[in-house]
Structure 1
Amino acid sequence: MKVFITILALAVASASAYESVVHPKDLPKVTKIEGRITNGYAAPEGKAPYTVGLGFSGGWWCGGSIIANDWVLTAEHCIGNADSVTVYFGATWRTNAQYTHWVGRDNFISHSNADIALIRIPHVDFWHMVNKVELPSYNDRYNDYNEWWAVACGWGGTYDGSPLPDWLQCADLQIIHNSECASYYGTGIVGDNIICVRVVDGKGTCGGDSGGPLVSHDGGKLVGVTNWVSGAGCQAGHPAGFQRVTYHLDWIRDHTGISY
C-alpha cells in the first residue's frame, strides 16, 4: 500500500485540489521485470562516487550522499525505526560494493522538522570510486537553481512497480520554480525547504531512490536530497520533490562542522 504524506495544515477542501505525494521507498514493488524502462541510464563506473546505498535493518533500501570522510546525508524517512544500516560504498552493481560499513542507530541524526538526516560513518579515504560531493557554499544559500540541470543517481526502480535494479542508474533533470511545483501539490507540501524537478519521458526518481543525491551539472554541488514523487506514480510526468540543501546548511554545519 502506498504511504502518502499528509500535511495537516491543509484544509480538507483545499487538499482535494492538489495531488498527493509518496516517498519513493514506499512505492509498491513487483518480483519480476515487466513494462518499459524509461527513466535514467546505467551509470559508468565511477560516475557518482559520492552515492552510497543504504540497506536498513528493517529491510528497506535507500540512497545517500557522502559529504565528508565521516558523514552521509540522506532522508529522515529512510531512517524510520531502523536499528542499524549497512552502507555500501563505491558500488556500481548495487550489492557489489568496494566495501561496506555497519552503522548503529546511535549514529543517526534526524531533523526534527524536515525530511533530511545525517549518518555518522567510520572514516573513509577518498579515491576515484569513493569520494564526497561538495555542499553549496554560503554564498549560494539564496540561489534557487531555477532551470538549472542536475543529475540524480540511485538504485531505485526504473519504472513504476519495478524491482530494484542491480546497476546504478542516473537521470539528468531540470530544476523548476517552486511555484510550478506547488501548482501540482500545493504550498503546504512545496515550501521553501523543497526543490523540485520536471519529470519528462518518465525520467526521474522512483522506488528505492529515497535519500539519494541531486547534484548540479554546473559546479557539481549537492542541491537536493530525494524526498517524494507524485502519488500518481514515478512516470506520471508530474514533478518530483527533494529537500533543498541550501535551506539546511546551518543544520548540517551545526552537527558536522561542514561548511563552505
Structure 2
Amino acid sequence: MDIHSIIMKVLVVFALALASASAGLLPQVLPVHPRDLPAVPSIEGRITNGQTASEGQFPYQVGLSFGSSSGSWWCGGSIIDNSWVLTAAHCTSGASDVTIYYGATVRTSAKLSQTVSNSDFVQHASYNSIILRNDISLIKTPAVSFTAAINKINLPAISSSYSTYEGQTAVASGYGKTSDASNSVASHLQYADLTVISNKACENTFGTLIVTPRVICVGTYNGVSTCNGDSGGPLAADGVQIGVVSFGSSAGCEIGSPAGFTRTTYFLDWIAEKTGISY
C-alpha cells in the first residue's frame, strides 16, 4: 500500500468517525491489515520476537501464496476440514489464485502443495476494507488426507459463542516478520503466546468503529506480535481456533499496540452455511 492509499484510508476513517459523532469511535492509532504494512520482499519474515515451531507442532497451519495481475503476497491460513481452509478476506481480496502449502514447518519444504483458483474462494460478501469489517474468507480445496504433519484445527462449539476469552493465553502462528526492520525471508514457522484482552481495552487504541463484536484482540507485550505475512493465520486457545489475524497498528508491529483478529465465534453460522461444517 503506497502513502497516498494510507492517507486516503485515514481520511475515510476520520470522515466516518466524525459523521457518527460518537465518543470512542475515532481510532487513536490507525489500524491496518498486516498485508498492507510495507514489506520487501512480499514473503518476508515471521512473527516478531516469537519462537520457532517444531515439526508437527501446528499441523493445521498452512502457508498461502496469492497471485494476481498486479503482483503476489503471502498470508497464513488454517485447515478446518479435509477440503476447507480458513483465512482473512483481506488476503483473498483481489487474488486470481492461491498456492497452499501444507505441513511446512520449514517454509520451503511443504509436505504437500495445491493451487486453487479464485472461483473456489468464499470471501465474506460484506467484507469492508476501510473499517476492516467481516475480514474472513474460506478456500475450497481438493481433499487432503490427514497425517501427523497435516491436520485440522477445531472451531469453537456453538455453546462458546458468548465467550470473550478475556485473560486466556492464545497462540498465534505464522511466517510473518521477525521485526519491523526485518528484510529477510523466514525459513521456519514461528509462534507466539499472547494474552486475550477485552474489546473495551482494544477500543482505547482502535475505537468502536473498528473494534466490534466481530473482533477479538490480544496484547502485544515486549514486542511480541503478529506482523507482515501473518495475515489470515490462526489464533488458537486450548486447541480451538478463536481468531484469524486481521489488523494491527500502522505504526508497526513492535510498538505495543494491540493486535486484532476476526472473532471466529461470531462467524460460526456463516462458516457452517458455506461449508456444511458445524460444531
TM-score normalised according to structure 2 size: 0.86
Alignment length (residue pairs):
253
- Residue 34 of structure 1 corresponds to none
Q: Of the candidates 75, 85, 88, which is equivalent to residue 62 of structure 1? A: 75
Q: Of the candidates 197, 200, 225, which is equivalent to residue 221 of structure 2? A: 200
Which residue identity does 2:140 align to in structure 1?
Answer: R
- Residue 18 of structure 2 corresponds to 11
Any gaps of 5 or more consecutive residues in structure 1?
Answer: 32-36
CA distance in 2, matches of 1:80, 1:192: 22
- Residue 103 of structure 1 corresponds to 116
Any gaps of 5 or more consecutive residues in structure 2?
Answer: 42-46, 127-133
| Residues 166, 197 of structure 2: 8 Å contact kept | yes
Shift of 1:162: 2.1
Name the SS of the counterpart of 1:10 in structure 2.
Answer: helix
More moved, 1-10 vs 130-139 = 1-10
More moved, 77-86 vs 1-10 = 1-10
CA distance in 2, matches of 1:140, 1:126: 26
CA distance in 2, matches of 1:202, 1:112: 34
User: Are residues 1:154 and 2:174 paired?
Assistant: yes
- Residue 191 of structure 2 corresponds to 170
The structure where helix makes up a greater share of residues is: 2
| Residues 174, 230 of structure 2: 8 Å contact kept | yes
Which residue identity does 1:183 align to in structure 2?
Answer: N
- Residue 39 of structure 1 corresponds to 49
**Deviation by residue 1:145-172 (Cα, 9 ceiling, x = unmatched):** 0011110000001111423411100000
| Residues 59, 103 of structure 2: 8 Å contact kept | yes
| Residues 27, 161 of structure 1: 8 Å contact kept | no
The percent of aligned pairs where both chains have the same amino acid is: 48
Q: Of the candidates 97, 119, 135, which is equivalent to residue 115 of structure 1? A: 135
CA distance in 1, matches of 2:274, 2:40: 38
**Equivalence map 1:1-260=2 (5 Å):** 1=2, 4=6, 7=13, 9-11=16-18, 18-30=28-40, 39-58=49-68, 59-113=72-126, 114-163=134-183, 164-216=185-237, 218=238, 220-260=239-279
Name the SS of the counterpart of 1:186 in structure 2.
Answer: helix
| Residues 28, 161 of structure 1: 8 Å contact kept | no
Which residue identity does 1:39 align to in structure 2?
Answer: N
